[in-house]
Amino acid sequence: MRRQVRIGLIGTGKMARAHGHAYLTAARFFQLPVEPRLAVVCGSRERAETLARAFGWEETATDWRCVVERADLDLIDVCTPTGSHGEIAAAAVGAGRAVLCEKPLASSGQQAEAVVRAAASAGVLGAVVFNYRYVPAIRQARDLIAAGRLGDLRHLEFHFLQDWLTDEARPMSWRLRAAQGGGVVLDLGSHLVDLVQHLVGPVGRVAAIVGRSIGERADEQGEPQPVDVEDHFQALVEVAGVPGTLAASRVASGDRCSFGFQIHGSRGSLRWDFQRLNDLELYLEDEPALQGWRRISVTRPGAHPWAEAWWGAGHGLGYEETFVHLMAAVLRRLGGEEAEIPTLEEGLRCQRVLDAMVAAARGRTWAAV
């Protein structure tokens, strides 16, 4: 009988649903050394009870501090608004619990450093939910870059564009409040920074412009409230010496979720688009008679580490499977097996870039990471 990993989930929003689904699905589709047990979900009473009924969480709680202190839990999963990530994650690892924290790890580099120090002192496992690393096409892109198929990298372009805030009648939410860790830099920027560092290398310095298009929105009572976070940014970056751009927006009209990248090298180029996430586009210079962009469908057996668990060649995977792949990796590590996970240290490195981006925008100059 496999050892059980008892999980305490803190948070009850959409990501909490994604995580609960991923634990259950990972256990059903992958041969794991441990069995996830959905022990307790924490949030407001009504929302926690709703989530417990939907996913089979055994208990509910309303105080996250009581959850992280429970000696019968093996893993604390942090799915709260960004502003509380650092505090909860630090408390969890300080109590000797392994932690999985939604991105970003914290609201600042100082908070992220505290989490990393506490985890190192306690000797516990920690990971950050950079789920896009687990898109099969992105895994193949990383392999191609590492193998030198693109030659010397020359230029990078990464973007994450949404339009859900173009409507001025859209009400306030925690994502629009600085005190709760709102703002597009922490939200979409963390995905962009992690992905560029995961694929290419460390960001060395950055210059940025951030902006706020709509400065006031109605709260839950219909009263106007100031918006104190940015809703778009543009950044210039040097990544392992390679120049590039990062752009993110919540007010890009017509772009529901335009997320992707282009990476250009001396021998070839890659591009990927989230709307066609099972496809990777590749151009190679060393085939003169066959030059042109080719579309690679990354669904065949052997094309990525998770292929054998799924449906077969030509059957596409979706957004939810990125969480399944990540949770499977975390459970493998908790079971004593080798598996690549986004570490707390990588979460800290991402946070330092985000801090530098904000500093560069304020000072209207380049900022070193």
Domain boundary among 131, 150, 177: 131
Distance CA 351, CA 344 (A): 10
Give the chain's domain count. Answer: 2
**What is the CATH classification number for the domain harbouring 223?**
3.30.360.10
Whether 110 and 157 map to the same domain: the answer is: no
pLDDT tens string 149-185: 999 999 999 999 999 999 999 999 999 999 999 999 9
For 59, the domain range is 3-131
pLDDT tens string 89-132: 999 999 999 999 999 999 999 999 999 999 999 999 999 999 99
Quickly state the pLDDT bin for 300 (edges 50, 70, 90): confident
Distance CA 232, CA 210 (A): 6
Whether 162 and 296 map to the same domain: the answer is: yes
Domain boundary among 72, 103, 131: 131
| % of the chain exceeding 70 in pLDDT | 100
Distance CA 313, CA 308 (A): 10
Q: Residues 29, 99, 39, CA angle at the centre, nearest 5°?
A: 60
Whether 158 and 256 map to the same domain: the answer is: yes
Residue 1 has pLDDT above 80, yes or no: no
| pLDDT recorded at residue 35 | 98
Distance CA 138, CA 156 (A): 15
pLDDT tens string 302-349: 889 999 999 989 999 999 999 999 999 999 999 999 999 999 999 999
| pLDDT recorded at residue 289 | 82
Residue 36 has pLDDT above 80, yes or no: yes
Encoded tokens for 366: 């380049």
Whether 227 and 214 map to the same domain: the answer is: yes
Quickly state the pLDDT bin for 287 (edges 50, 70, 90): confident
Q: Is residue 330 part of a domain?
A: no
Angle between helices 45-55 and 14-29 in degrees, nearest 10: 20
Whether 145 and 214 map to the same domain: the answer is: yes
Q: Is residue 19 part of a domain?
A: yes
Whether 248 and 173 map to the same domain: the answer is: yes
Q: Scan for tokens 């372009």, then name that residue.
A: 157
Whether 119 and 142 map to the same domain: the answer is: no
| pLDDT recorded at residue 2 | 86
**What is the CATH classification number for the domain harbouring 115?**
3.40.50.720
Whether 127 and 140 map to the same domain: the answer is: no
Residue 68 has pLDDT above 80, yes or no: yes
Q: Would you tell me how many other CB atoms lie within 10 Å of the CB of residue 311?
A: 10
Whole-number average pLDDT of the chain: 97
